Amino acid sequence: MHQSSDGPRHVPVLLHRADEILGPALHSEGAVYLDCTLGLGGHAEYFLQTYPNIRLVGLDRDTAALKLAGERLAPFRDRITLVHTRYDGIPNALEQAGLPEKGSVSAILMDLGVSSMQLDEADRGFAYSIDAPLDMRMDSSTGPTAADVLNTYSHGELARVLKTYGEERFAGKIASEILRRRQRTPFTTSAQLVELLYDTIPAAARRTGGHPAKRTFQALRVEVNRELESLEAAMPAALDALAPGGRIVVMSYQSLEDRVVKLELAKRSASRTPLDLPVELPGMGPEFKILTRGAEKATEQEIEENPRAAPVRMRAAERIAGEDRA
């Protein structure tokens, strides 16, 4: 979902590469384009303009983003259905759009992570460079905040979150300090947490690997929004939604997301015929063909124009067979 904050219209990440991959699936009349992470609507606007025969189903869990995207996409209102849901709500979103949850979609884009709007809004608490309330919810209408996590989780739960979702090697030490400080003053702002991290992470470790708060803030955001759980449920639903010849592009911004995407695409692009048989059994061949070699990255020029594209990892696949798995 990362879109540059340079300029008022925002530059969607890897837009033209996404078009190269998804475009061949969008030429037919009434083709359905499913944008699972609508954000501010940059990708969606481009595809609606470029392919005048397509229909958009756009999903986002952020009501503020949906409102802004709806205003941006108003010229196409007769061709769009916008749905307030996480991306693991794909089946229900398709039902709201009057479409079957399986085999009805021509092209899917999943641009994961935090949108520029969320990063740039000071009161969201996503950015460690701005002192703000520790919220971090993508859908600010529901669920616990990052402050709730810091103030209520046990030492073991905090250490697990920081180590698993942030790959933070000082997770245990940070968790201990969180418990010690919250007894005196509950956590309410990002500055409190950043100060703790500077005080807790050894100076030698702070000199490498970027900002010392980066891993902890990522871990809290993933936990608060249940991002990996949502993605693990969304990937199979997205692949099932594609018609034969349909294509999917997924952009990840951290290794944990990319691993979920990689494993699901690998599973669905492998033959299910037993290895000791000399011929492919009917209906047991791969359902998908991988369209990218490994994970593609942004070019140096794109990163220069849009620094938030630096960590992106893009994977893509095409459905080559219907779902006939036993």
* CATH code for the domain in which residue 128 is found: 1.10.150.170
Residue 279, class by beta-carbon neighbours within 10 Å (0-12 exposed, 13-18 middle, 19+ buried)? Answer: exposed
Residues 250 and 296 in one domain: yes
Residues 19 and 107 in one domain: yes
What was the pLDDT predicted at 3?
A: 41
Residues 112 and 138 in one domain: no
Residues 110 and 175 in one domain: no
Nearest to 318 by CA among 5, 23, 2, 12: 23
Interatomic CA distance for residues 198 and 44, integer angstroms: 40
pLDDT tens string 9-60: 456 888 999 999 999 999 999 999 999 999 889 999 999 999 999 999 999 9
**Domain boundary, last residue among 184, 205, 225:** 225
- Does residue 3 lie within any of the structural domains? no
What was the pLDDT predicted at 274?
A: 73
Residues 209 and 185 in one domain: yes
Residues 24 and 112 in one domain: yes
Does the annotation list 192 as a binding residue? no
Phi, psi values for residue 274, rounded to 5°: -55, 140
Residue 211, class by beta-carbon neighbours within 10 Å (0-12 exposed, 13-18 middle, 19+ buried)? Answer: middle
- The C-alpha R_g of the chain, in whole angstroms, comes to 21
Residues 88 and 145 in one domain: no
Does the annotation list 209 as a binding residue? no
Does the annotation list 62 as a binding residue? no
Interatomic CA distance for residues 118 and 39, integer angstroms: 9
Interatomic CA distance for residues 126 and 124, integer angstroms: 6
- Does residue 4 lie within any of the structural domains? no
Does the annotation list 33 as a binding residue? no
pLDDT tens string 51-93: 999 999 999 988 888 999 999 999 999 999 999 998 899 999 9
Interatomic CA distance for residues 39 and 110, integer angstroms: 11
Does the annotation list 43 as a binding residue? yes
Residues 196 and 209 in one domain: yes
Whole-prediction pTM? 0.84
Question: What is the rounded end-to-end Cα distance, in angstroms, of the chain?
Answer: 35
Residues 138 and 259 in one domain: no
Number of domains in the chain: 2
Does the annotation list 41 as a binding residue? yes
- Does residue 253 lie within any of the structural domains? yes
Does the annotation list 49 as a binding residue? no
What was the pLDDT predicted at 4?
A: 36
Longest dimension (CA), the chain: 68
CB contact set of 215 (below 8 Å; sequence gap of 6+): 162, 166, 167, 168, 209
- Does residue 2 lie within any of the structural domains? no
Phi, psi values for residue 237, rounded to 5°: -65, -40
What was the pLDDT predicted at 98?
A: 95
Residues 177 and 187 in one domain: yes
pLDDT < 50: residue spans in the chain: 1-9, 117-118, 120, 324-326
Residues 105 and 239 in one domain: yes
The range of the structural domain enclosing residue 199 comes to 124-225
**Domain boundary, last residue among 159, 193, 225:** 225
